[in-house]
Amino acid sequence: MSANRIRVLVVDDSAVVRKMISDVLAADPEIEVVGTAVDPYAARDQILALAPDVLTLDLEMPRMDGLTFLRILMEQRPLPVVVMSSLTRNGSEHALEALRLGAVDVLGKPGTSYSIGDLGPQLLAKVKAAAIARLRPFRGTRPAVPATPVVSAAVAGGTAGPWARAPSSGPRSLILLGASTGGTEALREVLTHLPDGLPPIAIVQHIPALFSRAFADRLGTLCSFRVSEARDGDLLERGHAYVAPGNFHLLVVRQGEQYRARVIDGPPVWHQRPAVDLLFKSASDAGAGTNVLAGVLTGMGKDGAEGLLRLREHGAATFSQDEASCVVYGMPRVAWETGASQRQVPLERISEYICRQLEPAGAGHAPLARASP
């Protein structure tokens, strides 16, 4: 077998699920299933014996649950992990905790409402992304806590207090963000460092159906402003972030001087639903132009680049996450290389960059990021 194939270990207590996952992966010539394990103890032995490149990991297993195993794994022998989680409220919460602990991505387990036919293309894409992912440092077992928002005195209306509000008006009236692999933690880093009172924020994160609601709810407990899963017809308001529902596209349409959300079905774009490109292009079609600040964060593929370029051509301020801070430098790379992104910004500086873009024209600062020609 080719040494260049991605070596995968499948960990799940269900023999049926192990076979389904293994069959999907083995059918791809770029992937080799080197083994399977029924629980974390068997997985530990298989990891030592087989040295896999990627793990697929069930979270509900006997003897030791998947989260406990993941904590130990990321602390002692970090390895790219794609989590397979049940499509339930508890499953979604556990999957988000797994992402916080260092898992690269999450996917709903196959079952009566989520067939192996639906699973296959997504599983292959996520395993391939995991194989090239840059693992984040181990975050420990403490739950995530709200961070102090980053805000300059000009944006906060003359005060730099930790929960200061942004001005009620400014040169940008809509903020758009798109992300994929590694994006849940990247978005948490950005949003929890932003102040309340900013223009509405519309977000597309490639995430399975049902998981998006838990993701939005968790962000809502950590941020200084409201965060919710977008609903069709929502009026996009200041001090509120809207997350695209999993398996639905999120668009924005203009209504007078404001915007409303459109949540629609439709074919995947770049194999994704929701798709970042559709959000960005809808803002351009709505005539937002110079009223938009848009950025692409970490992720595999090229979703978002075309829409970001269209926005830039219509006067929007655009940016992308820099390579060093990305889990997967795919979407940001395409956005940068095609000229869609005006600047590359390190993850830890994106919130500050957003605030500076909202400042009155002429406010002087040292450069935060590499600018495109």
Of the listed ranges 69-73, 123-127, 178-182, 253-257, the one predicted with least confidence: 253-257
| pLDDT attached to residue 152 | 42
Q: Which of 13-22, 85-94, 148-157 has the highest mean pLDDT?
A: 13-22
- Let me know if 27 is exposed, middle or buried by CB neighbors in 10 A (0-12, 13-18, 19+): exposed
Catalytic residue among 85, 86, 180, 372: 180
What pLDDT is recorded for position 186?
97
Catalytic, 94? Answer no
Whether 351 is catalytic: no
Catalytic residue among 193, 206, 240, 249: 206
Q: Which residue has the higher pLDDT, 117 or 247?
A: 247
| pLDDT tens digit sequence for 262-273 | 999 999 998 899
In degrees and rounded to multiples of 5, residue 21 shows phi and psi of -65, -45
Delineate the domains of the chain, giving CATH numbers in brackets.
6-131 (3.40.50.2300), 174-371 (3.40.50.180)
pLDDT at 201 over 70: yes
Question: Over 90: is that where the pLDDT of 147 sits?
Answer: no
Model confidence pLDDT, tens digit, residues 344-371: 999 999 999 999 998 765 445 555 556 6
What pLDDT does residue 142 have? 46
In this predicted structure, the answer to whether residue 119 has a pLDDT above a threshold of 90 is no
Look at the pTM and tell me if it is higher than 0.75.
Answer: yes
Say if residues 323 and 334 touch (Cβ distance below 8 Å): no
Name the residue among 220, 257, 218 with its Cα closest to residue 235. Answer: 257
Select which of 240, 303, 341, 372 is catalytic. Answer: 303
The per-residue pLDDT for 172 is: 54
pLDDT of residue 149: 54
- The verdict on whether 180 is a catalytic residue reads yes
Q: What is the pLDDT of residue 209?
A: 82
Give the model's pLDDT for residue 347. Answer: 97
pLDDT recorded at residue 164: 33
User: Once rounded to an integer, what is the mean pLDDT over residues 228-246?
Assistant: 96
